[in-house]
Chains A and B, each alone.
Chain A
């Protein structure tokens, strides 16, 4: 995985595969504390204790449980490379919460990159699942809740190109105006998060 937005896409796909109807995503960056955290909480079927114990190991993959595979080990590796950690809590029947923590300024911390493309992909690919996304990047906040959007659209499909353009735009605005905290600046014309 090249960046954290792809890891996020992958982890949320786990949640939807686990039968979640609501996935709540939180991205928080506090550069003063030098901490970036990504939390994915779902209301899917959750994991039993024995699966939870094995989920970080790519070589105990069981084909019938979709939640086990390379996604979690790869994310954990990305966390460890940036002096962070990966926490997983799960309750059978209630859901799962995955929190990935990174050091913001670690040289091996992957960039957040294109969160907008990840959300658009999730919304289009899982139109029967609701997503709540909330980010706070050094005080710069974005909130997106598909339940609110769907209520407002009143039956119009949320994956309509015009709606997706609005969603994408929400993230591009931020990318076009880097705050003073976004270290790194421009790399190949892209703004690094």
Chain B
């Protein structure tokens, strides 16, 4: 029976002692991956795992990840919503691994939304 080793978990617990738990609201940015049937079929799991790897590689400690259901724009999946403190939330569409990495780097880390992959940014018109 393969199981997680208790020693490994204890080691992680010891090394993280005293660090903030982001889930308590101490985060700078939140990324929500849309994980409905449409999203999953289009590649939402790749988006989620790309974000997990990006967080790991950057040693990012102030970003939280979560998932949500179908947002009703199934044809534009995979999608994610990026909320960085003090910036308007941005929904990104037609994602893949490369786009996700770029959005993570530029928007989540540097705070500059990537207009070309956003759902509607820059396309609003006034009548």
Contacts and interface: CB of A to CB of B under 8 A. Distances in A.
A161 B37 contact: no
Given A125-B33, A125-B48, A152-B10, A9 B40 contact: yes
A127 B66 contact: yes
Contacts of B5: 166
Residues of A in contact with B, size category: 35 or more
Interface string A26-62: 0000000000000000000000000000000000000
Tell me the dominant secondary structure on chain A's binding face. Answer: helix
Tell me the dominant secondary structure on chain B's binding face. Answer: helix
Interface residues of B, number: 35
Nearest to A2: B41
Given A121-B45, A124-B48, A141 B2 contact: yes
- Of the candidates A9, A74, A121, A157, the one having the most CB atoms from chain B within 10 angstroms of its own CB is A121
Interface stretch (A98-106, A142-150, A183-191): A142-150
Contact of B52 (A13, A120, A127, A174): A120
- Of the candidates B22, B38, B40, B65, the one having the most CB atoms from chain A within 10 angstroms of its own CB is B40
